[in-house]
Chains A and B, each alone.
Chain A
Amino acid sequence: METYYAPKDLGNFAEIGKDAPELAGKFFAYYNEVFTEGELTEREKALIALAVAHTVQCPYCIDAYTRACLEKGSHLGEMTEAVHVATAIRGGASLVHAVQMRKIAEKLSL
């Protein structure tokens, strides 16, 4: 079945540099630097990336960072908690806007 997303396409990520090599080079250099251990460990950064991947719902990123988290020594309990953090922020971001709803409704209501 033909689909927009195929797992093997993830391996072709580098090809986006073909027609804009300088920009791609800068992006990938930055990207790799971001994931290098700094104040945060590589394991912690991979967990953050996994949570963000679920927030942006990128299947490539979920595939890549599920494996990365396991290979950095995380386990499914930690990974699931990371996704719940993303979920809480994402859900909370909707819920907190109810403050606007209430404010507007109060202004309009008797």
Chain B
Amino acid sequence: MPMAANPLGGGSFGEALAKHGLQLTREETRVLQVNVGLACDLSCRHCHLEAGPQRVEMMDRDTMDAVIDCARRFRFQSIDLTGGAPELVPDLDRLVRSLAPLTDRLMVRTNLVALNSGEGSALCELYRELGVALVASLPASNAAQTEAQRGEGVWGRSVDALKRLNTLGYGMPDSPLRLDLVSNPSGAFLPPPQQQAEQKFRSDLSRRHGISFNSLYTFANVPLGRFRSFLERSGNLEGYLAQLADGFNPCSVAGLMCRYQLSVDWRGRLFDCDFHLAQGGWYGGEETHISTLAELPAPGTMIPTADHCFACTVGAGFT
């Protein structure tokens, strides 16, 4: 069945799906991804949300309450807190404490640097107390590529934060406290195969810094926001988009995260994923607040697509 008019205008991705006899439809919703705001202490050059220190958009207490209420109503297997830098949002500790008992797995995405502040340090203790899983951004196992993407001085502060997390038990063998790393390439090229990259990260971080972690995930950069601006400025946009489309892997579609999750922004508005959130493509085609969500999307419901979806289906895919 061909897709209806696409609010995001993603014809070519739709064509790629159709060419392989595929549709992008929802499965049972298991994950609630909560983007608590765009404030961040870094201005990473690949950020699809253009988060940074100048951004003031942050989730308020009322919206947090609506998120907590939603989590109580639907009991998601996993709740994924992201930003921006979640650590900068006032009352994040209250949100974390409230959500932890309402899900099997609460995870927080961190840029690592934000954990070095006083508030960040206190949050680390809270995360440990509640068994919160941490997913830390680290583009490379070397300073040059890390700082090219994330800013000067970030490498040392990231290493310090990882060492402290290890001290707390995160990412250590035989510890239940999970520390996973996420690596996005520091430029207009695709990420290395995940297994190879994980071996290299493990070897480099262990040998040079004594750092331990659980798993590494590699993801392609999404051509939105600040990364798209870089692609345009550097003359890489056309080539990068072609590379994403050429690398379309039909086997990745079944596991795409958008099939299993709902995404909510700092105002409580719903999206299919964080990338549609960045582009302003509503869940269900119209603005919907999480407080009014009466039921989870039915399996089989079509998911709107856009050209940036190619970033999730290249190589091993974004799952």
Contacts and interface: CB of A to CB of B under 8 A. Distances in A.
Interface of B: 140, 142, 144-145, 185, 187, 189-193, 196-197, 200
Main DSSP-derived SS at the A contact region? helix
A75 B142 contact: yes
Contact of B196 (A41, A70, A75, A76): A41
B145 A43 contact: no
Do most interface residues of chain B lie in helix, strand or loop, or is the interface mixed? loop
Contact of B189 (A42, A43, A70, A76): A70
**How big is chain A's contact interface, by range?**
10 to 19
A30 B256 CA distance: 35
B181 to A, nearest CB: 13
Interface string A48-91: 00000000000000000001001111011100000000000000
Of listed B145, B185, B187, residue having the most chain A CB within 10 A: B145
Interface in A22-57: 41-43
A70 B185 contact: yes
A75 B140 CA distance: 9
Contacts of B140: 75
B196 A42 contact: yes
A85 to B, nearest CB: 19
Contacts of A72: 192-193, 196
Contacts of A73: 192, 196-197, 200
A70 B148 CA distance: 14
Contact of A67 (B142, B189, B193): B189
Given A76-B144, A77-B144, A71 B196 contact: no
A102 B140 CA distance: 49
Nearest to A66: B189
A71 B192 contact: yes
19 contacts: A41-B196, A42-B196, A43-B192, A43-B196, A67-B189, A70-B185, A71-B189, A71-B192, A72-B192, A72-B193, A72-B196, A73-B196, A73-B197, A75-B142, A75-B144, A75-B145, A76-B145, A77-B142, A77-B144
